[in-house]
Structure 1
Amino acid sequence: MSFTASATTLAGRNGHVKSETGVVDLDLAMPKPDGSPGKPGATNPEELFASGYSACFGSAVIAVAGAEKLRPEQVSITADVTLLTENNDFRLAVVLKAHIEGLEASEAERIVHKAHEVCPYSKATRNNIKVELEIV
Protein backbone atom coordinates (compact mmCIF):
# COMPACT_ATOMS: atom_id res chain seq x y z
CA MET A 1 0.00 0.00 0.00
CA SER A 2 1.13 3.52 -0.66
CA PHE A 3 -0.44 6.91 -0.18
CA THR A 4 0.54 10.26 -1.62
CA ALA A 5 -0.68 13.57 -0.26
CA SER A 6 -0.21 16.64 -2.39
CA ALA A 7 -0.28 20.33 -1.50
CA THR A 8 0.76 23.43 -3.40
CA THR A 9 2.00 26.65 -1.82
CA LEU A 10 1.93 29.97 -3.60
CA ALA A 11 4.36 32.68 -2.42
CA GLY A 12 6.20 30.65 0.24
CA ARG A 13 5.96 31.43 3.96
CA ASN A 14 3.85 34.53 3.39
CA GLY A 15 1.49 32.94 0.92
CA HIS A 16 -1.23 30.32 0.74
CA VAL A 17 -1.22 26.52 0.85
CA LYS A 18 -3.92 24.27 -0.54
CA SER A 19 -4.04 20.49 -0.60
CA GLU A 20 -5.12 18.61 -3.68
CA THR A 21 -8.25 17.48 -1.82
CA GLY A 22 -9.06 21.04 -0.73
CA VAL A 23 -9.28 20.01 2.93
CA VAL A 24 -6.19 22.10 3.71
CA ASP A 25 -6.72 25.63 2.40
CA LEU A 26 -4.75 28.03 4.59
CA ASP A 27 -3.02 31.38 4.57
CA LEU A 28 0.61 31.33 5.67
CA ALA A 29 2.54 34.06 7.46
CA MET A 30 5.93 34.38 9.10
CA PRO A 31 5.55 34.54 12.90
CA LYS A 32 6.49 37.82 14.51
CA PRO A 33 9.87 37.94 16.31
CA ASP A 34 8.07 37.25 19.62
CA GLY A 35 6.59 34.05 18.14
CA SER A 36 3.04 35.35 17.85
CA PRO A 37 1.14 34.85 14.58
CA GLY A 38 2.29 37.06 11.74
CA LYS A 39 -1.25 37.51 10.49
CA PRO A 40 -4.53 36.63 12.22
CA GLY A 41 -5.87 33.29 11.07
CA ALA A 42 -2.64 32.32 9.29
CA THR A 43 -0.40 29.37 10.08
CA ASN A 44 3.20 28.51 9.26
CA PRO A 45 5.17 25.45 8.11
CA GLU A 46 6.32 24.62 11.64
CA GLU A 47 2.74 24.49 12.93
CA LEU A 48 1.75 22.26 10.02
CA PHE A 49 4.74 19.98 10.65
CA ALA A 50 3.88 19.82 14.37
CA SER A 51 0.32 18.82 13.50
CA GLY A 52 1.43 16.05 11.17
CA TYR A 53 4.17 14.74 13.47
CA SER A 54 1.91 14.64 16.54
CA ALA A 55 -0.81 12.76 14.64
CA CYS A 56 1.60 10.28 13.08
CA PHE A 57 3.48 9.68 16.32
CA GLY A 58 0.22 9.17 18.22
CA SER A 59 -0.79 6.47 15.72
CA ALA A 60 2.62 4.83 16.13
CA VAL A 61 2.19 4.77 19.92
CA ILE A 62 -1.26 3.19 19.58
CA ALA A 63 0.02 0.60 17.08
CA VAL A 64 3.04 -0.37 19.21
CA ALA A 65 0.91 -0.62 22.34
CA GLY A 66 -1.61 -2.79 20.50
CA ALA A 67 1.12 -5.09 19.20
CA GLU A 68 2.13 -5.62 22.83
CA LYS A 69 -1.50 -6.29 23.84
CA LEU A 70 -1.60 -3.06 25.84
CA ARG A 71 -4.70 -0.88 25.68
CA PRO A 72 -4.00 2.69 26.75
CA GLU A 73 -7.13 4.60 27.73
CA GLN A 74 -6.00 7.73 25.93
CA VAL A 75 -2.95 8.81 23.93
CA SER A 76 -2.17 12.50 23.56
CA ILE A 77 0.94 13.73 21.74
CA THR A 78 2.12 17.32 21.64
CA ALA A 79 4.83 18.13 19.12
CA ASP A 80 6.75 21.32 19.84
CA VAL A 81 8.54 22.27 16.63
CA THR A 82 11.08 25.06 16.94
CA LEU A 83 12.65 26.91 14.04
CA LEU A 84 16.19 27.76 15.08
CA THR A 85 17.98 30.55 13.25
CA GLU A 86 21.60 31.49 13.60
CA ASN A 87 23.68 33.44 11.06
CA ASN A 88 21.23 32.66 8.21
CA ASP A 89 21.34 28.96 9.11
CA PHE A 90 17.85 27.57 9.69
CA ARG A 91 17.20 24.31 11.51
CA LEU A 92 14.31 22.53 13.18
CA ALA A 93 14.17 20.90 16.58
CA VAL A 94 11.29 18.83 17.95
CA VAL A 95 10.13 17.84 21.41
CA LEU A 96 7.48 15.11 21.43
CA LYS A 97 5.48 15.11 24.68
CA ALA A 98 3.50 11.92 25.19
CA HIS A 99 0.67 11.63 27.69
CA ILE A 100 -0.55 8.04 27.85
CA GLU A 101 -3.33 7.22 30.28
CA GLY A 102 -3.83 3.67 31.48
CA LEU A 103 -0.22 2.46 31.32
CA GLU A 104 2.45 2.28 33.98
CA ALA A 105 5.18 4.91 33.56
CA SER A 106 7.77 2.29 32.55
CA GLU A 107 5.38 0.81 29.96
CA ALA A 108 4.63 4.25 28.54
CA GLU A 109 8.32 5.08 28.24
CA ARG A 110 9.08 1.78 26.49
CA ILE A 111 6.14 2.22 24.08
CA VAL A 112 7.14 5.80 23.24
CA HIS A 113 10.72 4.77 22.44
CA LYS A 114 9.51 1.89 20.27
CA ALA A 115 7.06 4.21 18.51
CA HIS A 116 9.96 6.55 17.74
CA GLU A 117 11.62 3.66 15.88
CA VAL A 118 8.58 2.98 13.65
CA CYS A 119 6.91 6.37 13.14
CA PRO A 120 7.46 7.60 9.55
CA TYR A 121 8.07 11.18 10.74
CA SER A 122 10.65 9.94 13.25
CA LYS A 123 12.33 7.91 10.53
CA ALA A 124 12.40 10.96 8.23
CA THR A 125 13.98 13.17 10.89
CA ARG A 126 16.38 10.61 12.41
CA ASN A 127 20.01 11.80 12.37
CA ASN A 128 18.82 14.96 10.68
CA ILE A 129 17.24 17.12 13.37
CA LYS A 130 17.18 16.93 17.16
CA VAL A 131 14.08 15.10 18.43
CA GLU A 132 13.53 14.74 22.17
CA LEU A 133 10.98 12.42 23.77
CA GLU A 134 9.17 13.28 27.00
CA ILE A 135 6.57 11.37 28.98
CA VAL A 136 4.17 13.85 30.60
Structure 2
Amino acid sequence: MNTLYSTKVTAVGGRSGRVRSEDGLLELPLALPTTMGGAGGATNPEQLFAAGYAACFENAVIHVTRNKVANVKDNDIVVVAEVGLSPNGSGGFALSVALDVAITGLDQATAEEVVRAAHATCPYSNAVRGNINVTITVTTN
Protein backbone atom coordinates (compact mmCIF):
# COMPACT_ATOMS: atom_id res chain seq x y z
CA MET A 1 0.00 0.00 0.00
CA ASN A 2 1.30 3.47 -0.92
CA THR A 3 1.17 5.78 2.12
CA LEU A 4 -0.22 9.21 1.20
CA TYR A 5 0.70 10.86 4.49
CA SER A 6 2.31 9.94 7.79
CA THR A 7 2.83 11.88 11.00
CA LYS A 8 4.09 11.29 14.53
CA VAL A 9 2.72 12.66 17.77
CA THR A 10 4.44 12.02 21.09
CA ALA A 11 2.52 11.81 24.36
CA VAL A 12 4.26 12.20 27.71
CA GLY A 13 2.56 12.03 31.11
CA GLY A 14 -0.63 10.22 30.11
CA ARG A 15 -3.94 12.00 30.60
CA SER A 16 -2.26 14.70 32.69
CA GLY A 17 0.67 15.23 30.36
CA ARG A 18 1.30 16.78 26.96
CA VAL A 19 1.14 15.88 23.28
CA ARG A 20 3.39 17.26 20.56
CA SER A 21 3.53 16.57 16.84
CA GLU A 22 6.87 16.03 15.15
CA ASP A 23 6.51 19.35 13.28
CA GLY A 24 5.49 21.25 16.45
CA LEU A 25 2.19 22.48 14.94
CA LEU A 26 0.25 20.50 17.54
CA GLU A 27 1.45 21.01 21.07
CA LEU A 28 -1.13 20.76 23.81
CA PRO A 29 -1.42 20.04 27.51
CA LEU A 30 -3.73 17.20 28.51
CA ALA A 31 -5.96 16.95 31.56
CA LEU A 32 -8.43 14.47 32.92
CA PRO A 33 -11.93 15.98 32.51
CA THR A 34 -13.62 17.25 35.66
CA THR A 35 -16.48 14.79 35.04
CA MET A 36 -13.92 12.01 35.56
CA GLY A 37 -12.51 13.59 38.72
CA GLY A 38 -9.70 15.51 37.04
CA ALA A 39 -8.69 19.15 37.05
CA GLY A 40 -9.95 19.85 33.53
CA GLY A 41 -8.71 23.01 31.86
CA ALA A 42 -6.98 21.22 28.97
CA THR A 43 -7.93 18.91 26.14
CA ASN A 44 -8.10 15.13 26.41
CA PRO A 45 -7.68 12.14 24.07
CA GLU A 46 -11.43 11.85 23.44
CA GLN A 47 -11.67 15.49 22.30
CA LEU A 48 -8.68 15.00 20.01
CA PHE A 49 -10.21 11.83 18.55
CA ALA A 50 -13.58 13.59 18.07
CA ALA A 51 -11.87 16.51 16.30
CA GLY A 52 -9.93 14.20 14.01
CA TYR A 53 -12.92 12.02 13.19
CA ALA A 54 -15.22 15.02 12.52
CA ALA A 55 -12.71 16.68 10.20
CA CYS A 56 -11.83 13.45 8.39
CA PHE A 57 -15.48 12.42 7.99
CA GLU A 58 -16.41 15.87 6.68
CA ASN A 59 -13.64 15.60 4.12
CA ALA A 60 -14.94 12.17 3.09
CA VAL A 61 -18.38 13.76 2.55
CA ILE A 62 -16.73 16.52 0.49
CA HIS A 63 -14.90 13.87 -1.54
CA VAL A 64 -18.10 11.94 -2.22
CA THR A 65 -20.08 15.06 -3.18
CA ARG A 66 -17.37 16.01 -5.68
CA ASN A 67 -18.15 12.78 -7.50
CA LYS A 68 -21.95 12.78 -7.06
CA VAL A 69 -23.34 16.28 -6.43
CA ALA A 70 -21.95 19.44 -8.02
CA ASN A 71 -23.81 22.08 -6.02
CA VAL A 72 -22.53 21.30 -2.51
CA LYS A 73 -19.79 23.59 -1.23
CA ASP A 74 -17.32 22.64 1.52
CA ASN A 75 -19.00 25.01 4.00
CA ASP A 76 -22.40 23.41 3.27
CA ILE A 77 -21.29 20.37 5.27
CA VAL A 78 -21.03 20.33 9.07
CA VAL A 79 -20.01 17.27 11.06
CA VAL A 80 -20.23 17.11 14.84
CA ALA A 81 -18.55 14.10 16.45
CA GLU A 82 -19.38 13.03 19.98
CA VAL A 83 -17.01 10.49 21.51
CA GLY A 84 -18.03 8.63 24.65
CA LEU A 85 -15.82 6.67 27.03
CA SER A 86 -17.44 3.85 29.01
CA PRO A 87 -16.32 0.88 31.09
CA ASN A 88 -16.33 -2.27 28.95
CA GLY A 89 -17.28 -4.66 31.75
CA SER A 90 -13.90 -6.43 31.63
CA GLY A 91 -11.88 -3.89 33.60
CA GLY A 92 -11.08 -1.79 30.55
CA PHE A 93 -12.81 0.91 28.58
CA ALA A 94 -14.62 1.30 25.26
CA LEU A 95 -15.30 4.23 22.98
CA SER A 96 -18.52 5.09 21.20
CA VAL A 97 -19.03 7.66 18.47
CA ALA A 98 -22.06 9.63 17.32
CA LEU A 99 -21.68 11.62 14.10
CA ASP A 100 -24.24 14.32 13.32
CA VAL A 101 -23.90 15.29 9.67
CA ALA A 102 -25.75 18.31 8.27
CA ILE A 103 -25.66 19.03 4.54
CA THR A 104 -27.21 22.16 3.07
CA GLY A 105 -28.64 22.02 -0.43
CA LEU A 106 -29.47 18.31 -0.70
CA ASP A 107 -32.69 16.38 -0.24
CA GLN A 108 -32.71 13.86 2.63
CA ALA A 109 -32.38 10.74 0.45
CA THR A 110 -29.38 12.12 -1.47
CA ALA A 111 -27.73 13.32 1.74
CA GLU A 112 -28.12 9.87 3.30
CA GLU A 113 -26.65 8.22 0.18
CA VAL A 114 -23.68 10.61 0.27
CA VAL A 115 -23.09 9.95 3.98
CA ARG A 116 -23.26 6.16 3.49
CA ALA A 117 -20.61 6.46 0.79
CA ALA A 118 -18.51 8.75 3.01
CA HIS A 119 -18.70 6.23 5.86
CA ALA A 120 -17.29 3.60 3.48
CA THR A 121 -14.55 6.03 2.35
CA CYS A 122 -13.45 7.73 5.60
CA PRO A 123 -10.22 6.25 7.03
CA TYR A 124 -11.45 6.81 10.61
CA SER A 125 -14.67 4.92 9.85
CA ASN A 126 -12.68 2.14 8.23
CA ALA A 127 -10.30 1.99 11.20
CA VAL A 128 -13.01 1.69 13.85
CA ARG A 129 -15.52 -0.46 11.93
CA GLY A 130 -16.31 -3.54 13.99
CA ASN A 131 -14.50 -2.15 17.04
CA ILE A 132 -16.38 1.02 18.01
CA ASN A 133 -20.13 1.58 17.85
CA VAL A 134 -20.70 4.48 15.43
CA THR A 135 -24.14 5.99 14.97
CA ILE A 136 -24.76 8.56 12.24
CA THR A 137 -27.56 11.08 12.01
CA VAL A 138 -28.06 12.96 8.74
CA THR A 139 -29.98 16.22 8.39
CA THR A 140 -30.47 18.63 5.54
CA ASN A 141 -31.14 22.36 5.44
How many pairs are equivalent?
A: 134
| SS of match in other structure, 1:84 | strand
Q: Which one of 85, 92, 101 corresponds to residue 98 of structure 1?
A: 101
| SS of match in other structure, 2:57 | helix
Name structure 2 gaps, 5 residues minimum: none
1:131 corresponds in structure 2 to 134
Partners in 2 of 1:9 and 1:57 — Cα distance?
Answer: 24
Partners in 2 of 1:72 and 1:9 — Cα distance?
Answer: 38
Deviation of 1:107 (Å): 0.7
Q: Which one of 22, 25, 44 corresponds to residue 24 of structure 2?
A: 22
1:75 corresponds in structure 2 to 77
Q: Is the counterpart of residue 111 in structure 1 residue 102 in structure 2?
A: no
Name structure 1 gaps, 5 residues minimum: none
2:58 corresponds in structure 1 to 58
1:84 corresponds in structure 2 to 86
Aligned-residue identity in percent: 40
34 and 11 in structure 1: CA distance in 2 versus 1, 3 angstrom threshold? closer
Letter in 2 for 1:27: P
Deviation of 1:38 (Å): 3.2
2:46 corresponds in structure 1 to 46
| SS of match in other structure, 1:61 | helix
Partners in 1 of 2:127 and 2:19 — Cα distance?
Answer: 22
Q: 1:87-129: per-residue Cα shift (whole Å, max 9, x none)?
A: 5320000001001001111111110111000100000000011
Larger deviation, residues 102-111 vs 63-72 = 63-72
2:125 corresponds in structure 1 to 122
- TM-score, reference length from structure 2: 0.88
Deviating runs (4+, > 6 A) in structure 1?
none
- TM-score, reference length from structure 1: 0.91
